[in-house]
Structure 1
């Protein structure tokens, strides 16, 4: 167990703080909602009722979809786009998917390579693009979840105000939906741009996300 924890500490750490943050969001979100309900003369809701509501689901899903979109785009566009001097980028001139030798597939697969790395056709293509594909699917699923949960929460507000509910297509095409969505997207895109560009000139000793402290500012990726 100790070896498992040590070898997977990074994943376990982020999963733990994810669960703590999610629990904190649930408790504070319920407190905020109950404050508003009591102020309006309505009965407060339980924690279970809140975490199974559209209000909670849409807040969670809209953050998940923006995060998965960020990683999906970063994984895919860094195949073709570079940033000189950034450890997050390949070196200029190395744009593209690279050769089979670089990817260690086919005849260049090694003893410990995944089985599909030696295969051809659709199996090799799926393995070669599996990370981007899964991140893209997770983005689409969380985006769909956001739209469904948001529709539920929005229609609850509509009915509470004695207005007609809207369809899913109407909600997805509304300013309400895209305002919530783009608020998250713009912050994710700015964060990625900041990380890529600031890592050209700034360092964090011991971090694999940083170049060595003494590396030239113009050194890029494995050039270090």
Structure 2
């Protein structure tokens, strides 16, 4: 029970992710078979749909925008601040911080991760590991979106008697950038709204909110 309690936040969102992905796969399968029926074609098996470019492109285009959002947000909060927002450091704290602040090298604690006590490239990698992973998943998802999108586009072109296009041509197509930018703009809006609204609004008990009675201009860290 203690393990469940200590990891409840990750477990809840992990379960929500699996349920939402499963729901998307079933809904997408039904929609795809309805489209096939309209064209007088036989239905597709569920397993075949899960490995199809149609399903992959829909999943990948959402994943890449989400991981881009967090990649940019994590990177931006190193150097930029927003007074009063719990999503930001205090003005004056910009930058990567000192070794003492970050508890690395000779300032590491006995229970600090081993790579925090290491020197050279290992410490550099560990110090930037969150950005590296977020950026890598974004790039891989974006690549998957572009490859699967090329297959989908060529399938649609074949239905209309048009010539297939290359992956490079698809990267410059309106379809690719429409799929990409419609997700990016919504992610940037959501992050910007969270940063700005959390200055003036509160949610009691949430770590994403300042204490209810803290002044609007103060950061959450100023209550400590």
Asked if residue 205 in structure 1 is aligned to residue 204 in structure 2, the reply is yes
How far off is 1:126 after superposition?
A: 0.7
Aligned equivalent of 2:188: 189
Output the TM-score relative to the length of structure 1: 0.97
How far off is 1:28 after superposition?
A: 0.8
What are the Cα deviations for residues 104-133 of structure 1, in whole angstroms up to 9, with x where unaligned?
A: 011111011111111221111111111011
1:165-180 to 2 correspondences below 5 Å: 165-180=164-179
CA distance in 2, matches of 1:159, 1:4: 53
1:4-153 to 2 correspondences below 5 Å: 4-153=3-152
Contact 2:61–2:179 (Cα < 8 Å) also in 1? yes
What are the Cα deviations for residues 152-204 of structure 1, in whole angstroms up to 9, with x where unaligned?
A: 11111111212111111000111110010000000000000000000000001
Distance of aligned partners of 1:79 and 1:221 in 2 relative to their CA distance in 1, 3 Å threshold = farther
CA distance in 2, matches of 1:193, 1:40: 43
Task: Name segments (4+ residues, structure 1) moved above 6 Å.
Answer: none
How far off is 1:221 after superposition?
A: 3.5
CA distance in 1, matches of 2:96, 2:175: 39
Contact 2:211–2:220 (Cα < 8 Å) also in 1? no
How far off is 1:45 after superposition?
A: 1.3
Aligned equivalent of 2:160: 161
CA distance in 2, matches of 1:38, 1:118: 61
CA distance in 2, matches of 1:49, 1:8: 35
How far off is 1:7 after superposition?
A: 1.3
> What SS class does the counterpart of residue 48 from structure 2 fall into?
helix
Across the aligned residues of Structure 1 and Structure 2, the Cα RMSD in angstroms comes to 0.9
What are the Cα deviations for residues 127-150 of structure 1, in whole angstroms up to 9, with x where unaligned?
A: 111101110011001111111111
CA distance in 2, matches of 1:120, 1:223: 33
> What SS class does the counterpart of residue 81 from structure 2 fall into?
coil
CA distance in 2, matches of 1:198, 1:179: 28
Contact 2:86–2:208 (Cα < 8 Å) also in 1? yes
What are the Cα deviations for residues 72-107 of structure 1, in whole angstroms up to 9, with x where unaligned?
A: 001111000000000000001110011111100111
> What SS class does the counterpart of residue 86 from structure 1 fall into?
coil
How far off is 1:3 after superposition?
A: 2.3
